[in-house]
Chain A
Amino acid sequence: VTTPSPELRARVAELVRQHGSPTQAQVHRRSLAVISLGAAWWIAGALLLGADLESRPSGWLLMMLGVWTTTGVLGTYVALSSGGSSLGRPRPLLMGLSWAIVSLLLAVSILAGVLWPETQSAPAGPWLSHAGCFVFTFVLAAGPLAGLLLSQARSDPVRPTATGALLGAVAGAWGGVGMSLHCARTEMVHLVIGHVLPVAGVAIVGAVLGAAVLALSAPKKARNA
């Protein structure tokens, strides 16, 4: 009905010709590289911290590691898959999944304490005793978070904050897997403060960084053209 000027068509074509852009194959390779680097960070951190698999009931350990790892794997798959649309998944779903991950990990931490009451005999200790796990969960999650965010950089024109929150929750879950391998403490309070709370924290960090890293805005060169 109403068409733009023919000069615009020529101008846009010339600008596109001048500025290269990566194809799908190049983007996939780049994404794989940064995610691999993030995974390498996590593996290196987990190896440095070491694993203690002896001092906890095997059923307790199996359930905790199983749920945390499954959450990380499924969350990564959902966060990185598009859902068949270049616009990704709807905002309510992204926010719901972020909350679901944190809630699930919280629930399983409480449930483990209920199912294995003998794990609750030790005193919870002062607040500062949880700080180590709290900080190291963040540190372990930093690599996966950076990898996931950079692999999706400048891809979301609609809701980068919600996408960032989900990526953060997933990265936090991976951080929690590493800490679950290392930390031999089983008290409910410690698990909630030292292991689950950081997952929510990394999700918030992901939301904040996502708004800057994931948002699709005009490149400066093109804006000045």
Chain B
Amino acid sequence: VIFLESLASFGNDHATRSPGPPIDWSAGDKLIPRPRGPMRITLVLTATRDDRFVQADASMARYAQGDDSAFLDLYDALAPALFGFLLRFVRQKALAEDLMQQTFLQIHAARGRFVSGSPVRPWAFAIARRLFIDHTRRAGRELVSGDEERVVTESLEHQTPGDWHDAREAATRAEATLGALPEAQREAYLLVKLEGLSLADAALVLGSTTTAVKLRVHRAVVALRTALNADPGSTPGGTT
């Protein structure tokens, strides 16, 4: 749902094809949700996500200082975002879990290197990304499409049939387009638009410049917007 929110925040093109009035953009770039459907849920989840960020930073600060009991709090605060990030790259739940396990073990091993007062999420994402890169270098790219998890559709199971169909269609096309993007653009988009990292933090994670990350995100957004405006029958990558 957060994924759909990030897409919707760049234009109401796909929303206008959904039943009900289009999104009102009169409040600048702030999203005004229609009264029913997934957008209202999105705002609730976003608030919850922000709380998790604060909790993650506080837990990591305690854990780095030697409070071992803070580890599970840290895990609970970071795991959903890290898992989603990894799953979008490896597309296999078992492999994503394996990489996430390694990421947390790495965070554990390097906790003494954590800088108190700094946000833990960019650091955690950088470690996860490094482990993913190491994995792909060792094993080669062996993404098996048959094992792909339908991440977005799983999250929409509790919507009404009409909403579910519209949202699933848009999400599936967007997901396929995202998967077909160059890796640099996909990484930048996921970190900035889905995980909420600042451009500066995303640049640190990616080892790039703020300008380059901004450009990659923009290109990803253009590609996603184009895909959402396109004929539903011409889904990139042929995913249904």
State in angstroms the CA–CA spacing of A104 and B105 once bound together. 42
Residues of chain A from 1 to 32 with CB closer than 8 A to chain B in the complex? 1-5, 8-9, 11-13, 15-17, 19, 21-28
Stretch at the interface among A183-191, A197-205, A216-224: A216-224
Size of B's binding interface in residues, CB under 8 A: 58
| B65 at interface, CB cutoff 8 A | yes
A92 proximity list for chain B (CB < 8 A):
209
Find out whether the CB atom of A216 lies under 8 angstroms from the CB atom of B80.
no
Residues of chain A in range 81-119 having any CB-CB distance to chain B below 8 Å: 82, 84-88, 90-92
Contacts of B110 in A (CB 8 A): 21, 154-155, 216
Q: How many A-B residue pairs have CB under 8 A?
A: 151
Q: Please tell me if B129 contacts chain A, counting CB pairs below 8 Å.
A: yes
**Complex: how many Å from CA A154 to CA B2?**
34
Interface residues of A, CB < 8 Å — how many? 45
- Across the two chains, which residue of chain B brings its CB closest to A88? B204
Chain A nearest CB, measured from B167 CB (Å)? 13
Interface residue ranges of B132-151 to A (CB < 8 Å): 134, 149, 151
Contact for A86 among B102, B115, B130, CB less than 8 A? B115
The complex places the Cα of A192 from the Cα of B130 at a distance, in Å, of 39
- With both beta carbons as reference points, the residue of chain A lying nearest to B96 in the complex is identified as A4
Nearest residue in B to A158 (C-beta to C-beta)? B207
**Counting CB contacts under 8 A, is A132 at the interface?**
no
**A85-B80 contact, Cβ under 8 Å, with A217-B134, A222-B105:** no
Q: Which residues of B contact A25 (CB under 8 A)?
A: 65-66, 112
Interface residues of A in 117-175 (CB under 8 A from B): 154-155, 157-159, 162
Q: Which residues of B contact A158 (CB under 8 A)?
A: 126, 130, 204-207
- A22, B209: Cα distance in complex, Å: 32
Residue of B nearest to A82 (CB): B115
Instruction: Check if A218 sits within 8 Å of B118, measured CB to CB.
Output: no
A residues near B149, Cβ cutoff 8 Å: 2
Q: Top 5 nearest A-B pairs by Cβ distance?
A: A27-B112, A23-B66, A222-B105, A86-B123, A157-B130
Q: 23 A–B contact pairs at CB < 8 A?
A: A1-B80, A1-B155, A2-B83, A4-B79, A8-B100, A8-B101, A12-B75, A16-B104, A16-B105, A17-B68, A21-B110, A25-B66, A28-B112, A84-B115, A85-B122, A86-B113, A88-B204, A91-B208, A154-B113, A162-B207, A216-B110, A218-B131, A222-B109
Given contacts A1-B1, A154-B109, 18 further A-B contacts (CB under 8 A): A1-B45, A2-B154, A3-B80, A4-B80, A11-B101, A15-B101, A22-B111, A23-B65, A24-B66, A82-B118, A85-B204, A86-B115, A92-B209, A155-B110, A158-B205, A162-B207, A217-B130, A218-B134
